[in-house]
Amino acid sequence: MAKAAVLVGEGLVEAREVPIFEPEAGGILVSVIVGGVCGTDLHMINRLANEFPLPIILGHEGVGRIEKLGPGMDRDHAGETVKVGDLVYWSPMVACNQCYTCTILESSPCTHAAHFAEADKPSWCSHADYAWLPRGMSFFKLPDGVSTDAIIALGCALPTAVGSMDIVGGVKFGESVVIQGAGPVGLAAVLVANVSGAREIIVIDNNLKRLERAKQLGATATLSLDELTAEQRKQATLDICGAAGPDLVVEAAGYLPAFPEGVSLGGHAGRYVVIGLWGEAGDATIQPRDLVLKNMQVRGSMAPRPKHYYRALHLAARMADKVPLADLITHRFSIDQAANAYKAVESGEAVKVVIDPTIS
Ligand SMILES: [Zn+2]
Ligand SMILES: [Zn+2]
């Protein structure tokens, strides 16, 4: 038997004994080294996400070591040879490659994506001693010598930022970027803008500690939500970017009023990608003529694809020694203490919280 953090009811998480399963053909069994906690885990705990049967194991961000290869398994999903003992990072969704979204639209999320298995069944979830990756679940071998903390520090946030910025044409050399929110997705967007050669990277948040982290990852300016009015933030953005405004605005705030502000901040011929509002039902008022007069593009984005996990993995590995990625982890809990890990995320004090099954 192994241990796992199990969601048993709304707001109720318990550390439980769960069975260990043999890998299936084309799958692998992984011992989890570290599992990231993400805002989505809180949505699930508070039953705000889609309905699914309980109990389930939590966690969709993981780095682990291959314990067993299923029959016929000898490569990762980028075609690299793997063996028992290799470290891997996985994309927590299996696309069916047999639905309209997968095949015709070549988009995500897959209409038939397998999400969560009940806790006593094989599960790929990462807040556990073992993750059972089914056939078709993309996983990638870590480059040699890379810190597992540096990879998990931005967890699913880095693939999310990579995929979302990709969708709006990426960040071109010399462009200016405004990022709303300095949580993990916002910080990941800072890193992507930085390595893409952005001229200015302006980050807006109310948490000064997070804004400080944003500067460490490459933000050139930060604007406080508390200390400046919306008009002052707009003026500061124009002062920094020039009268045409920013080329790209990234919403990673998960806060409805960010949307009208993002439209207002958007530049001429600019792009605005909305990522964080997936869990925020409700209305927000904009002046549609703002979009027309600025020739501005607005695009929503969710569910990064395996290629974004692969690129994020290699980006984090390459930048791990250049920016303090692993240091983004502020809280580390054992599986037994998992309930406290989710509370730490909810409190807003943490930058990144992880579950470390090696802590007993
Ligand atoms: Zn996540
Ligand atoms: Zn599909």
Rounded to the nearest angstrom, the distance between the alpha carbon of 37 and the centre of ligand 1 is 7
Ligand nearest to the CA of 113: 2
Q: Are residues 215 and 272 in the same domain?
A: yes
The residue range of the domain holding 265 is 158-300
CB 207 within 8 A of CB 348: yes
Instruction: Specify whether 137 is located in the same domain as 9.
Output: yes
The domain tally of the chain equals: 2
The pTM assigned to this predicted structure is 0.95
- Separation of CA 93 and ligand 2 centre (Å): 10
177 and 148 both lie in a single domain: no
Q: How far is the CA of 242 from the centre of ligand 1 (A)?
A: 35
Asked if residue 167 and residue 128 are part of one domain, the reply reads: no
Q: Are 116 and 48 part of one and the same domain?
A: yes
Contact present, 251 and 275 (Cβ < 8 Å): yes
pLDDT for residue 208: 94
Convert the pLDDT of each residue in 74-107 to its tens digit. Answer: 999 999 999 999 999 999 989 998 999 999 999 9
Ligand approaching nearest to the C-alpha of 111:
2
Q: Which residues contact 30 (CB under 8 A, 6 or more apart)?
A: 62, 64, 65, 66, 67, 88, 90, 130, 131, 132, 133, 139
- Tell me whether residue 83 is exposed, middle or buried, using C-beta atoms within 10 angstroms of its C-beta: 0 to 12, 13 to 18, 19 or more: exposed
pLDDT (mean) for 248-267? 97
- Residue 360: inside a domain, yes or no? no
Same domain membership, residue 255 and residue 180: yes
Q: Are residues 48 and 120 in the same domain?
A: yes
28 and 114: one domain? Answer: yes
Does 31 share its domain with 130?
Answer: yes
Instruction: Report yes or no on 276 lying in a domain.
Output: yes
User: CATH code at 146?
Assistant: 3.90.180.10
Domain shared by 150 and 222, yes or no: no
Could you tell me the CATH number of the domain that includes residue 268? 3.40.50.720
Q: What is the mean pLDDT of the chain?
A: 95
Residue 113 alpha carbon to ligand 2 centre in Å: 6
* Tens-place pLDDT, residues 325-359: 999 999 999 999 999 999 999 888 899 999 999 99
How much is the pLDDT for 49? 60
Q: How confident is the model at residue 227 (pLDDT cuts 50, 70, 90)?
A: very high
- For 124-139, how does the pLDDT look when each residue is reduced to its tens digit (9 = 90+)? 999 999 999 999 999 9
CA 306–ligand 2 middle distance (angstroms):
13
- Model confidence over 146-203: pLDDT tens digits? 999 999 999 999 999 999 999 999 999 999 999 999 999 999 999 999 999 999 999 9
Q: How far is the CA of 156 from the centre of ligand 1 (A)?
A: 5
Q: Cα(344) to centroid of ligand 2, in Å? A: 35
What is the C-alpha separation between 102 and 105, in angstroms, rounded? 6
pLDDT for the residue 127: 97
Residue 278: nearest ligand to its CA?
A: 1
Q: How far is the CA of 61 from the centre of ligand 1 (A)?
A: 7
pLDDT, position 50: 62
Answer with the one of 285, 300, 315 that is the final residue of a domain. 300
Rounded CA gap, 357 and 344, in Å?
Answer: 17
